[in-house]
């Protein structure tokens, strides 16, 4: 349980670091005339991601979920891979990466890193899906994995991706 708490803590710290990067990039985008899209769903996204981390800890602690090596280790590998892919997305997008949907007029679509793969739309969201399933399952928190996956799918498919598609349509290829 201690190692799992450390994993969740490190993941939480990573999210705080990402918020600093995002805030810096948002500030720069707004200074260049950036327009934000879809502000209405952002607080739900933040709540869901905080809930993922809290749910991981609560389910493992209160329901005494065991670490099952045959599930836990492969899920841990997926968590690590998702972090590598997440930072590949962040580095590839550079100043355009943000936790919000902000488009700077005159900017162009990014076509480097995972964004050059035409068959892989929204690679960062695939990372979120992978992590949201794998992180809880590292320590058998299957209820948290299920709830996060369903709510995240609704949030992404109903709100976030359509908003982002509309915003990206304003950019030059």
Give the pLDDT score at 117.
Answer: 82
Give the pLDDT score at 172.
Answer: 73
Q: Where are the domains of the chain?
A: 2-168
Give the pLDDT score at 155.
Answer: 96
Q: 171: pLDDT confidence band, cut at 50, 70 and 90?
A: confident
> Bigger pLDDT: 171 or 164?
164
Give yes or no for residue 140 having a pLDDT over 80: yes
Give the pLDDT score at 53.
Answer: 98
Give the pLDDT score at 31.
Answer: 97
Q: 105: pLDDT confidence band, cut at 50, 70 and 90?
A: very high
pLDDT tens digits for range 6-46: 999 999 999 999 999 999 999 999 999 999 999 999 999 99
**Overall average pLDDT of the 124-136 stretch:** 96
Question: Which residues are registered as beta bridge partners of 37?
Answer: 101
HSE value, Cβ hemisphere, 13 Å, CA-based, for 57: 14
Q: 118: pLDDT confidence band, cut at 50, 70 and 90?
A: confident
Name the DSSP letter for residue 112: S
For residues 136 and 51, is the Cβ–Cβ distance under 8 A?
Answer: no
pLDDT tens digits for range 55-89: 999 999 999 999 999 999 999 999 999 999 999 99
Was domain 2-168 assigned CATH 1.20.120.1630? yes
3-state SS class at 108 = strand
Closest by alpha carbon to 39, among 105, 102, 94?
102
Give yes or no for residue 99 having a pLDDT over 80: yes
């Amino acid at each position: 349980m201690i190692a799992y708490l450390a994993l969740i803590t490190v993941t939480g710290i990573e999210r705080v670091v990402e918020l600093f990067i995002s805030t810096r990039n948002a500030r720069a985008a707004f200074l260049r005339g950036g327009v934000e899209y879809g502000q209405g769903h952002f607080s739900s996204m933040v709540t869901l991601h905080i809930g993922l981390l809290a749910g991981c800890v609560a389910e493992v602690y209160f329901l005494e979920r065991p670490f099952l090596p045959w599930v836990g280790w492969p899920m841990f590998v997926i968590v690590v891979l998702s972090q590598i892919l997440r930072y590949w997305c962040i580095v590839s997008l550079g100043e355009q990466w943000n936790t919000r949907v902000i488009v700077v007029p005159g900017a162009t679509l990014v076509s480097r890193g995972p964004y050059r793969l035409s068959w892989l739309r929204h690679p960062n969201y695939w990372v979120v899906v992978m992590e949201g399933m794998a992180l809880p399952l590292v320590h058998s928190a299957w209820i948290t994995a299920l709830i996060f996956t369903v709510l995240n799918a609704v949030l992404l498919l109903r709100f976030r991706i359509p908003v982002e598609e509309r915003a990206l349509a304003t950019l030059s290829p």
